[in-house]
Structure 1
Amino acid sequence: MEVAEIWSAIGTVASAVAAFVALAVAYLAYGATQTAGSSTAALTRIETRRIWAETIPQFKVSIEAQADTYALMRVELVGPPSLDRLDQIRLSIRDDYHARGASQVAGGPSAEEVANHVWGPYRFRHGTDGGSENDRTVAPFGLPLGEGTYFSMDRQYPPRWNKSGSETSWRRDYKDKPVRLLLKCAREGFEPWSVPVEVFVTPLQQQVAPRPASGASSG
C-alpha cells in the first residue's frame, strides 16, 4: 500500500472517530438537558405543592341556637394571611357516617332516599340561602380574608320511613354530636382545597350575653 493510500485510510478512520465523538457529546448534552429539565419540573411541582399546602384555607365556624328548632351558622375565612380571598366556597353538611347505604330490609329506603336525608342534628333551612332540595348544601359563595357570612339552619328530624323512631329519640341520639361540614374551596391560581370541619352547636343557655357599650348606663 502506498503512503498516500495509508494516509487516506487514516484520515477516514479519524473522521469516523471524530463523528462518533461528536455524536456521543451531543447525546450526553441532550441527556443532560433532559435531566435538567426533568429536575426543574420536579422542583416546580414540589414548590407548587408546598405553596398549596401552606395556603390551605382556615375557617372559624360557629353555630348558635336561636330557638328550640332554629340555629344560625357563621362561616369566617380567618387565614392564612397569604390567602387574600376565596373565589368560591361550596359548603355542605356531611353525614354522621360516610358509608350509609340502602336498607337491607325489604321495602326499606333506597340508597337515594338515604343519601338525600341529612344524618345529623341540623340541616340548612329549606328555600333559604340558595339551599338544595335535600337541605344539605347552600348556594356557592366567595369570601375575602377576615370576612364571614351567615346561614340559617333548622333542627333535623328522623327520616319519614323510620316508623318506630321518634323526634325525642332522634334528638337524644344527636344531642352531643357535632354538625359535620365540608368546605370545597376554589381560588384562581391554585388547585382546589377540601376542608372538613366539625362544629358543636352552642345552646341558648350557654351563649354569652353581649356586654353593654362603653359608658352605657345600667339604670
Structure 2
Amino acid sequence: MGDVSWADGLSAISAVVGAITAGIALKIGRTANDAARQSNLAADHANATADSVAAVERDRWHHEMTPRFDVTVSKLGPGSDQASLLLTFDGPAALERLDAVEIEIRDDGYAHGHGLAGGPTEQEIADTIWGPYRFVPGIDGASRDGRSVPAVSVELGGFLKYALEKSFKPRWTDAVYWSTRYAGGPVRLWVRCRREGHQPWTLTFNVDVAEPQ
C-alpha cells in the first residue's frame, strides 16, 4: 500500500469536515423549519382563538341588544269580531330605534294535511290563517290574506297599532267547528327586527286576547 501524501490527507480531512458541516447545517435547517412550522401553527391557533372569542362576544352583544316589546291584543267590544294589536318598543335604550319592524301572524303549529278528494290543496292550506285573528286586509298595508303587515321603523318608546279581525274559516271546514277551534286561543306572532350595524332579530309572541273593560 502506498504512502498517503499530506495533500491527500488534507483533502480527506476537508471532506470529513465538509460532511460534518453539511450535517450540522441540515440539522439547523430542519430545526429552523420545525420552529417556523410550530410558530405558524401557534399563530393559526391564536387567530382561531381570537376569532372564536370575537364570535362569542358578537353573539353576546347581539343577545343583549335584542329588542323588547310590550304586545297586547284587545277586543274592540263585547262580542266583536274586531280587535286591536298594540306593539310598544320598550328597549334596550342603546338601540334608540329600529330601522324595520315586520309583523306576521304565525299558524297554530300543527301540521294540516291535504290530498283527500275534495279536500284542501297545498296552496289553500298555506293561505289559511290557522289561528283566531288576522290583520284586516288593506288596512295599514296588510296583505290580502291578512297574514302580515309591511316593515316600518319605530323609535324607542314608540308603538305600532294594527287592526285585527276574526280569521275566516276555510271552505272545507264546518263553521261551528272553526268558531270553537280557536276560541280563547292566543294570537301567535313573528316579529322581525332590523337595525343597521346589527344582525337581524326574529322574535315570537303568544298573545292572549283581552276582553274589553
What is the TM-score with the length of structure 2 in the denominator? Answer: 0.86
| More helix by percentage | 2
Q: Could you tell me which residue of structure 1 aligns to residue 209 of structure 2? A: 201
Q: Could you tell me which residue of structure 1 aligns to residue 184 of structure 2? A: 176
Separation (CA, whole Å) in 2 of partners of 1:169 and 1:34: 63
Give CA-to-partner distance per residue, 1:29-86, whole Å, 9 cap, x none. Answer: 1111111111111111111111112222221111111141211111111123333222
* Bigger mean CA deviation after superposition, 193-202 or 82-91: 82-91
Q: Could you tell me which residue of structure 2 aligns to residue 32 of structure 1? A: 42
Separation (CA, whole Å) in 2 of partners of 1:101 and 1:186: 34
Residue 89 (structure 1) aligned to one of 98, 101, 116: 101
Distance 1:13 1:169, change over 3 A: closer
Q: Could you tell me which residue of structure 1 aligns to residue 200 of structure 2? A: 192
Question: Would you say how many aligned residue pairs link Structure 1 and Structure 2?
Answer: 201
Which one-letter code corresponds to 1:150 in the other structure? K
Q: Could you tell me which residue of structure 2 aligns to residue 134 of structure 1? A: 145
Which one-letter code corresponds to 2:150 in the other structure? A
Deviation at 1:8, TM superposition (A): 2.3
Deviation at 1:101, TM superposition (A): 3.5
Q: Determine if the alignment matches structure 1 residue 13 to structure 2 residue 23.
A: yes
Mapping of residues 24-173 of structure 1, within 5 Å: 24-67=34-77, 68-102=80-114, 104-162=115-173, 165-166=174-175, 168-173=176-181
Q: Could you tell me which residue of structure 1 aligns to residue 5 of structure 2? A: none
What is the TM-score with the length of structure 1 in the denominator? Answer: 0.84
Give CA-to-partner distance per residue, 1:142-191, whole Å, 9 cap, x none. Answer: 222221111011122322332xx22x543333221011111122222222
Separation (CA, whole Å) in 2 of partners of 1:25 and 1:184: 51
Q: Could you tell me which residue of structure 2 aligns to residue 215 of structure 1? A: none
Deviation at 1:106, TM superposition (A): 0.5
Which one-letter code corresponds to 1:195 in the other structure? L
SS of 1:188's equivalent in the other structure is coil
Deviation at 1:98, TM superposition (A): 4.0
Separation (CA, whole Å) in 1 of partners of 2:136 and 2:51: 48
Aligned-pair Cα RMSD in Å: 1.7
Separation (CA, whole Å) in 1 of partners of 2:165 and 2:14: 104
| Unaligned segments of structure 2, at least 5 residues | 1-8
| Unaligned segments of structure 1, at least 5 residues | 208-219
The answer to whether the 8 Å contact 1:100/1:115 transfers is: no
